[in-house]
Chain A
Amino acid sequence: MQFFGGSEISPSPPVPTASGNNAHMMYVFNRNGVCLLYKEWNRPLHTLNPQQDHKLMFGLLFSLKSLTAKMDPTNADKGNLGVPQLPGQGCSFHSFRTNTYKLSFMETPSGIKIILVTHPKTGDLRESLKYIYGLYVEYVVKNPIYSPGSPIKSELFNTALDQYVRSIS
Chain B
Amino acid sequence: MSGIGKVQDCGTKGRMDTNDSLRVASLWHSMHAISQQLSPVNGCSGIELLQADTFDLHCFQSLPGTKFFVVCEPGTPHMESLLRYIYELYTDYVLKNPFYEIEMPIRCELFDINLSQAVLSDRVALLGR
Contact = CB atoms under 8 A, between A and B. Distances in A.
Same assembly: yes
Contact of B40 (A25, A48, A67, A95): A25
Closest 8 CB pairs of A and B: A73-B14, A24-B40, A93-B52, A43-B40, A73-B11, A100-B44, A76-B13, A96-B50
Contact of A71 (B30, B40, B46, B57): B57
A93 to B, nearest CB: 4
Contact of A73 (B24, B35, B47, B54): B54
Interface stretch (A31-39, A56-64, A132-140): A56-64
A53 B39 CA distance: 11
Contact of A94 (B27, B35, B52, B57): B52
Contacts of B104: none
B53 interface: yes
A95 to B, nearest CB: 5
A45 B39 CA distance: 7
Interface of A: 24-25, 42-45, 47-48, 53, 56-57, 59-60, 63-64, 66-68, 70-76, 81, 91-101, 103, 117
Interface in B21-57: 23-24, 27-28, 30-31, 34-55, 57
Nearest to B28: A67
A98 B27 contact: no
B71 interface: yes
Contacts of B109: none
A56 B31 CA distance: 10
Q: Which of A44, A56, A59, A98 has the most CB of B within 10 A?
A: A98
Contacts of A42: 40
Interface range for B:
35 or more
B108 interface: no
Q: Which of B20, B42, B45, B53 has the most CB of A within 10 A?
A: B53
Given A67-B27, A70-B24, A74-B13, A98 B52 contact: no
B16 interface: yes
Contact of B16 (A45, A47, A70): A70
A97 B48 contact: yes
Given A76-B13, A81-B23, A93 B50 contact: yes
A140 to B, nearest CB: 25
A94 B41 contact: no
B30 A63 contact: yes
B48 A99 contact: yes
Nearest to A75: B13
A122 B105 CA distance: 38
B50 A48 contact: no
Contacts of A98: 35-36, 39, 44-48
14 contacts: A24-B40, A24-B41, A43-B40, A44-B40, A45-B40, A53-B38, A56-B34, A57-B38, A60-B31, A70-B16, A71-B57, A81-B23, A98-B39, A98-B45
